[in-house]
């Protein structure tokens, strides 16, 4: 299981738009979001807003059996929901998920505690 955290700066003045985007995922777009995540193999996805001295950041945590495969599928997807998601993400962060740069690597996982793993150790 891959455990991935992504951090993307929110463009100046777009924090409320980022909040609205995330509310849409948990509200009117929840069923579409679920179908998309299942199709590409993301089993869990959490989004946070981090306010830092350098500006607001959108922090995403995901779990997938194969994150690189899921990202590749999502980046290439022309599904209407996926296109909407990628456009909204670009609007609030400037990150174009249709064109993930070659050599993209999520932040390095340095520590992982899971009580279930400890019970089997």
**Per-residue pLDDT tens over the stretch 15-61:** 999 999 999 999 999 999 999 999 999 999 999 999 999 999 999 99
Cα–Cα separations (whole angstroms), residue 119 to 1, 65, 110: 18, 22, 21
Mean pLDDT over 58-86 rounds to 94
**By the 8 A CB rule, do 6 and 104 touch?**
no
Q: How many domains does the chain have?
A: 1
Radius of gyration of the chain (CA): 15
Residue 111 is part of a domain; what is its CATH number? 3.30.70.1090
Neighbours of 88 (CB within 10 A): 18
Q: Give the integer Cα–Cα distance in Å for 100 and 33.
A: 20
Domain enclosing residue 90, as ranges: 2-119
Angle at 98 between CA 111 and CA 60, to 5 degrees: 30
């Amino acid at each position: 299981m891959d455990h991935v955290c992504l951090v993307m700066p929110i463009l100046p003045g777009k924090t409320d738009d980022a909040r609205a985007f995330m509310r849409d995922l948990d509200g009117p777009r929840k069923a579409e979001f679920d179908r998309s995540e299942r199709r590409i193999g993301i089993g869990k996805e959490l989004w946070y807003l981090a306010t830092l001295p350098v500006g607001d950041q959108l922090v995403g945590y995901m779990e997938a059996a194969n994150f690189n495969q899921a990202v590749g599928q999502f980046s290439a997807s022309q599904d209407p929901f996926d296109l909407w998601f990628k456009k909204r993400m670009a609007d609030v962060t400037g990150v174009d998920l249709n064109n993930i740069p070659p050599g993209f690597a999520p932040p390095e996982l340095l520590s992982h505690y899971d009580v279930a793993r400890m019970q089997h150790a």
